[in-house]
Every structure is written in C-alpha cells, then in structure tokens.
Amino acid sequence: MTQYIDIAVNLLSDRLKHDIDNIINDAATQYVSPLIVIGSDLDESAKAITLCQQYPYKLYCTTGVHPHNASSWDQHSKIRLALLAQQQTVVAIGECGLDYNRDFSPRSAQRKAFAAQLELACELNMPVLMHCREAHNDFIAIVNEYRANLPNALLHCFTGSKNELIECLAADLYIGITGWICDERRGQGLAQLVPLIPDNRIMAETDSPYLLPRNMRPKPKSSKNLPQYLPYIVEQMANLRQQLPQTLAQACYKNSCDFFQLPASENISCHS
C-alpha cells in the first residue's frame, strides 16, 4: 500500500473550512494521511491546534506568521508563538519566510518576522516550514544565518530557478513540490528542475486549496485543489524523475515522517 503525507494544507482557508470531515476522509481513501495544516498567523495557528486535537493522528499543524502577515509581528508575538509551538499537535514553526511578489507586508517587516521565527525554532529545536517568492537572495542569507542551529528546514512550494535550487540544497533544505509542475504556462521551468532534487530531500504537497494540477484528467468540476489529488502530483513528479511512482511516494513519505518527527501509530507507519 502506497502512503502519502500532504505537507501543506490550508485547511482553515475560507474555501475548505466548511468541509473538513469530507476533505480528511476523501484524502484517506487515497491513502493521503495525515495532513499537515498550515498556520499563517498566530490566531489561525491557535485554531489549527484546536482543529488537530479533534482529529488525532489525522491532522498535525504548523504555527507561525506568513510573510503576508508579517506586519502583525510585535514584541509579544515571539512569546505567544513559543507557547503555541509547544502544543503536542504542532510539528513545525511556520509558515514563515519572505514574499516580495505581493509585498502585503513591508519587506523590512517580513525580514524581521522571518528572522525572529527562525531564532525561536533554534531555541525550541523545532523544524521550520518556509515560504519564498521572488526573494531568494534575502531568504537564503537569513536562512544561512540560522541554519547551523536548526534541526531541519523545508522550503515548501518551491518555484525558483536552478541556481536558487542549488543554493537551497547546499543549505541542506528539504524541497516541497506542488501541482505547479503540472501547469503548462508557468511550471515548465520547475518541471525541468524536479529531477535534480535528491531522493532524501524531496517532499510532495498540494498547498490546497491552491494550485490545482491543470493537466488532471478527468478535470475536476471545481478549481479547488484537495489533498486527495496528491497521488496525481507524485505520479507527475515520478514521471519527470524517471522513477516508479511507488518508489518516489515512499521517499516522500519517509522524508515527511522524518522531518516532522511524526510518531508511530496505527495510522502512521513511517518507519516500518
């Protein structure tokens, strides 16, 4: 049986939060379980913890402040985030990082919040789930400042260039790949880079509800991406890497288990 972990699900987004039971169950029918719920600000992170407590072993979460929300970071944020991060269902600090594409928060605020969260991850000895869009030079400089003291670091939804990938791998980052590789308009550059990622550094994700794979057949009636579609993304990744889908799925699953330090249970056999 091929198992999968969706490492980035925005389950509390407006497009998903009203159908959580069905989303979890439909994913499980495709052997996609558990799901990692993303926290994008401190309030959402607290809600994610409460949600995960209602679905033991099926949901885990990250807690952090996304660069879009970096303006909300203040002198109290680090203390509050530290308390949230110590809850049992929390498996990483994040989603944190830099986004110079949309600049929803000033870049100086983004850098400050990102560095503070990496510092906290070092203090708590926790992995980080990170975001970078059109901000690689500042991103990798900040990451490298803290990398030696971080137990693990993941750049999710990678969409960068070959040189950026090489620098991320040199920093020993895990790389998360989404359905972006299925987009004939924007994803062809990334599709060419996927074979360069080592087996022990690659992970798969939907970033649901975003980035529905455009070449899915039959095409879903809704444009909403769902965790149940993760096997399709893995198959596309495997084809690009000239691997058997089961082989790549096993590698992604093991990498995800190792990264998030997921406990063994009747629903999770990460180290079997």
Predicted confidence band of residue 263 (pLDDT cuts 50, 70, 90):
low
pLDDT of residue 265 exceeding 50: no
pLDDT of residue 270 exceeding 80: no
For residue 164, say if its preceding peptide bond is cis, omega within 30 degrees of 0: no
Find the mean pLDDT for residues 216-230: 91
Q: Which residue has the higher pLDDT, 62 or 183?
A: 62
Q: Please report the sign of the dihedral spanned by the C-alpha atoms of residue 81, residue 176, residue 163, residue 201.
A: positive
Whether 76 has a binding-site annotation, put simply, is no
pLDDT of residue 266 exceeding 50: no
Predicted confidence band of residue 272 (pLDDT cuts 50, 70, 90):
very low
Q: List, for residues 19-45, the tens digit of each pLDDT value.
A: 999 999 999 999 999 999 999 999 999
Give all domains of the chain, ordered by start, each with its CATH number. Answer: 4-260 (3.20.20.140)
Residue % of the chain over a pLDDT of 90 = 89
Q: List, for residues 147-184, the tens digit of each pLDDT value.
A: 999 999 999 999 999 999 999 999 999 999 999 999 88
Map residue 204 onto helix, strand or coil.
strand
Q: What is the DSSP letter of 219?
A: P
The pLDDT assigned to 185 comes to 83
List Cβ neighbours of 19 (8 Å cut-off, separation of 6 or more). Answer: none
Q: List, for residues 232-246, the tens digit of each pLDDT value.
A: 999 999 999 999 999
Two structure tokens written together for 272: 């079997």
Residue % of the chain over a pLDDT of 70 = 96
pLDDT of residue 213 exceeding 90: no
pLDDT of residue 74 exceeding 60: yes
What is the value of pTM for the model shown? 0.95
Give the sheet arrangement for strand 153-155, strand by strand. 4-9, 32-37, 59-63, 90-99, 128-133, 153-155, 174-177, 202-204
Quote the CA–CA distance of 179 and 199 in Å, as a whole number: 18
Closest-CA residue to 38 (of 62, 13, 2, 71): 62
Q: Please report the sign of the dihedral spanned by the C-alpha atoms of residue 75, residue 109, residue 187, residue 12.
A: positive
The pLDDT assigned to 27 comes to 98
Whether 134 has a binding-site annotation, put simply, is no
Map residue 37 onto helix, strand or coil.
strand
The pLDDT assigned to 267 comes to 44
Whether 235 has a binding-site annotation, put simply, is no
Cα of 247 vs its chain's centroid, Å:
21
Two structure tokens written together for 32: 């996609």
Find the mean pLDDT for residues 132-150: 98
Whether 136 has a binding-site annotation, put simply, is no
